[in-house]
Structure 1
Amino acid sequence: MATDTLSDVLKTVRLTGAAYFDIAAQEPWSVHSPARDLILPRILPGADHLIAYHVVTSGRCFAGLDGGEAVAVEAGEVVMFTHADPHVMSSSAGMQGEAPSADMIDIAEAGLLPFHINLMNGGAVSARLVCGYLACDAKPFNPLLEALPPMLKAGDISRNDSGWLGHFIHFAVAEVAEKRAGSESILTRLSELMFIDVVRRHIESLPPQKTGWLAGLRDPSVGKALALIHARPSFNWTIEGLARQCGTSRTVMAERFSQFVGVPPMHYLAKWRMQVAAEMLNRGNSQMATIAAEIGYESEASFSRAFKKMMGVPPSAWRQGTR
């Protein structure tokens, strides 16, 4: 159930990738990633959320959010900043990073990728990294982004050749080095798969007592309720109906769902319906009546009222604005 619900969310939030950097560094070195408000409009205009990632292909370095603890990242490991908050990558913990030059942003914006960054001074390479950005939709409702911590690290991925993370380094290094036709598209797809694998590993590593949307995917009753809502958003679900399908009582369903997900089941259903509607509006090829029926509204008028109440604008304005 967890995989189905996660896949459903990923399908509607439209992951895209851009701006890939190949970094060769010699100690001592440090780089400060600028605020996402500077990067996002330049390299991924139109997107409303940015995720930054760094894969260490050889050597080691440290990664940390501004004002946070730096953690070691070894060869074969990846660190992700799920909201692209300002952060520092460096050869030692506690170093203050240097902001990237305006030329770097200009080159990334122009699409001359992958872009090679040389932090060498005539000595031996102490670390090599492949870095990039992923963009996705955060509005109107992205439960995955809301549930992820600001920083994620996946370890020992080079020793797990059965998963996508294990293969990512080999493919990414080859694409960056060879600059073959279609490299940018290949790196985009690899980045998307890497993100999904990192999220799955994070879910699997959550302690049993952990709550939240991601932990709810693993819970037998909450996970099944989420899967039912995502599988049939147009169905006239009730708490009683969900509880019956999940083999539990109405009271237990209401309490447990709210405990894990943070909102009652019917509130979650309403928000997810609007996410599905927004994604259909973004595509721009569905009639309003079709969208209304697809998410469980009996009329176009009732759908429009509900959409405007939750989103602040009518569906027609949302469609025009996003396009």
Structure 2
Amino acid sequence: MDVLNDIVRLMRPQAVLWKTVDAQGRWGMTVPHRDAPRFCLVVAGHCWFLPEAGPALLMQQGDYLLLAAKPRYCLASDPEVSPQLAALADKSREGDYVRWNDGSRGEPTRLVGGYFQVEAEHAALLSGLLPELIFIRSSDEEAGRLTRVLELIGEEALGERPGRDLVMSRLVEVMLVEVLRRPMQHMQGQRAGWLSGMADPPIATALQKMHADVARHWTVASLAKQVGMSRAVFARRFAERVGVAPATYLSNWRIALAKDALLNSEQSISDIALSIGYLSDSAFSTAFSRIVGRAPASYRRAGRKGSDAATI
């Protein structure tokens, strides 16, 4: 079982381009808070990434930045632009983009940026997958495949070919998968979570086993045996890497699958319960209600009603 494929397919990610930015001279813009991971690619020129907290980061042509949901941040020609941007931002609404440009000529810069939307019921899942910040330089030899995808995105952003929006949307989906692949090999110092677990071979094997047979009656002892570890050592290591106990992870994943099936299939609640390892409707309903806050039937009705309203 390909766990990454499993999770990305469930989330149905879509990348929304917020804009292509062209600038010259001294300039800057603020990017407002958004409860979704955001990315920025420097197609031409350079810019500075200026977070609300932490050091400034110089981004050169071909460099790429992805952030988990964050407060407002700035992109600018140089760090000294910050006072002008801050003054303008104080007078703007919280969700506004703010742009400043002194009108002078200089090196042209082009940026492509956007954010990832996923099915609403799985937004927390994507947020939990990503480190706080991923920064990849174009000169990074280990970026490999991701760099080639970013080059294609840059070419599409610079051109006006037929089908541009469709091609761009597909490329950014591939970009997300490549980004999620890469940190598995570079997780030192990262927060606990699914990616951290996938970077640890025994824990990755346990995750793969659970995803491959989600309906099985997995226990800490049976999972520990699968990866050749003692029960106590496995339980402690899994919690350290993933951030939750094995039973909690499995329960959360089962409910994520159930939510998707309730909203996007015609399966009966009994069939859904059985497919993810619950032998009775009542056991499934109790677990679902505890995690989601409402019973499966109520969740399905509310989700279908919202979908119908959105299509009117």
Same fold (TM over 0.5): yes
For 2:261, the equivalent position in structure 1 comes to 280
Q: Which residue of 2 aligns with 1:43?
A: none
The total of aligned residue pairs comes to: 296
Is the CA contact 1:28–1:91 (under 8 Å) kept in the aligned structure 2?
Answer: yes
Name the residue aligned to 1:93.
79
- Pairing partner for 1:31 from 29, 52, 70: 29
Contact 1:221 / 1:246 at 8 angstroms: preserved in 2?
Answer: yes
Distance 2:107 2:266 in 1: 51
The 1:18/1:148 distance shift into structure 2, 3 A limit, reads closer
Structure 1 residues 214 and 243, CA gap change in structure 2 (3 angstroms)? same
Q: Distance in 2 between matches of 1:223 and 1:191?
A: 26
Instruction: Report the TM-score when normalising by structure 2.
Output: 0.83
Select the residue among 164, 173, 188 that pairs with 1:183.
Answer: 164
User: In structure 2, which of residues 126, 129, 134 is the aligned counterpart of residue 152 of structure 1?
Assistant: 134
Which among 65, 69, 75 is matched to residue 61 of structure 2? 75
The answer (yes or no) to whether the contact 2:146–2:179 under 8 Å persists in 1 is no
Say which is worse superposed, 246-255 or 144-153, in terms of deviation: 144-153
- How far apart, CA to CA, are the structure 2 residues paired with 1:209 and 1:69? 18
Give 1:120 deviation, angstroms: 8.2
Tell me how far apart the structure 1 counterparts of residues 134 and 144 of structure 2 sit (CA, whole Å): 21
User: CA–CA distance in 1 between the matches of 2:260 and 2:50?
Assistant: 34
Structure 1 residues 129 and 140: alpha-carbon distance in aligned structure 2, compared to 1, 3 A threshold: closer
Equivalent residue for 2:234?
253
Q: Name structure 2 gaps, 5 residues minimum.
A: 308-312
Q: How is 1:226-237 mapped onto 2 (pairs within 5 angstroms)?
A: 226-237=207-218
- 1:296 is paired with a residue whose SS is coil
Measure, in 2, the Cα distance between the counterparts of 1:161 and 1:71: 18
Inter-partner Cα distance in structure 1 for 2:119 and 2:179: 18
What residue number does 1:62 align with?
48
**What is the identity, as a one-letter code, of the residue corresponding to 1:296?**
G
RMSD over aligned CA atoms reads 3.0
With over 3 angstroms needed to count, the CA separation of the structure-2 counterparts of 1:252 and 1:229, relative to structure 1, is: same
**1:132 alignment counterpart:** 114
Q: CA–CA distance in 2 between the matches of 1:249 and 1:161? A: 36
For 1:64 and 1:232, the matched residues in 2 are separated by 45
CA distance in 2, matches of 1:143, 1:257: 18
**Secondary structure, in 3 states, of the residue corresponding to 2:167?**
helix
Q: Which runs of 5+ in 1 are unaligned?
A: 37-48, 109-116
Report how far residue 210 of structure 1 moved: 7.5
* Cα-to-partner distance string for 1:58-88 (whole Å, 9 max, x where unaligned): 1111113223322111111111122153111
Q: CA deviation at 1:130?
A: 1.2
Amino acid at match of 2:39: Y
3-state SS of paired residue (1:27): coil
Alpha-carbon distance between aligned partners in 2 of 1:85 and 1:210, rounded to the nearest angstrom: 19
Alignment of 1:1-323 (within 5 A): 4-36=2-34, 49-93=35-79, 95-96=81-82, 97=85, 121=103, 123-137=105-119, 139=121, 142-143=124-125, 145-156=127-138, 162-169=144-151, 171-207=152-188, 212-322=193-303, 323=307
Instruction: Find the aligned partners of 1:66 and 1:18 in 2 and give their Cα distance.
Output: 23
2:285 corresponds to which letter in structure 1? S
Does structure 2 retain, via aligned residues, the 8 Å contact 1:85–1:150?
Answer: no
Aligned counterparts of 2:126 and 2:33: Cα–Cα separation in 1:
21
More deviation, 274-283/119-128: 119-128
1:231 positional shift: 1.3
Paired AA for residue 217 in structure 2 = N
CA distance in 2, matches of 1:230, 1:26: 49
| Residues in 1 aligned to 2:111 and 2:76: alpha-carbon distance in whole angstroms | 11
Q: Give, in angstroms, the shift of residue 159 of structure 1.
A: 6.5
Aligned residue type for 1:129: L
Closer/same/farther in 2, CA of residues 178 and 220 from structure 1, 3 Å limit: closer
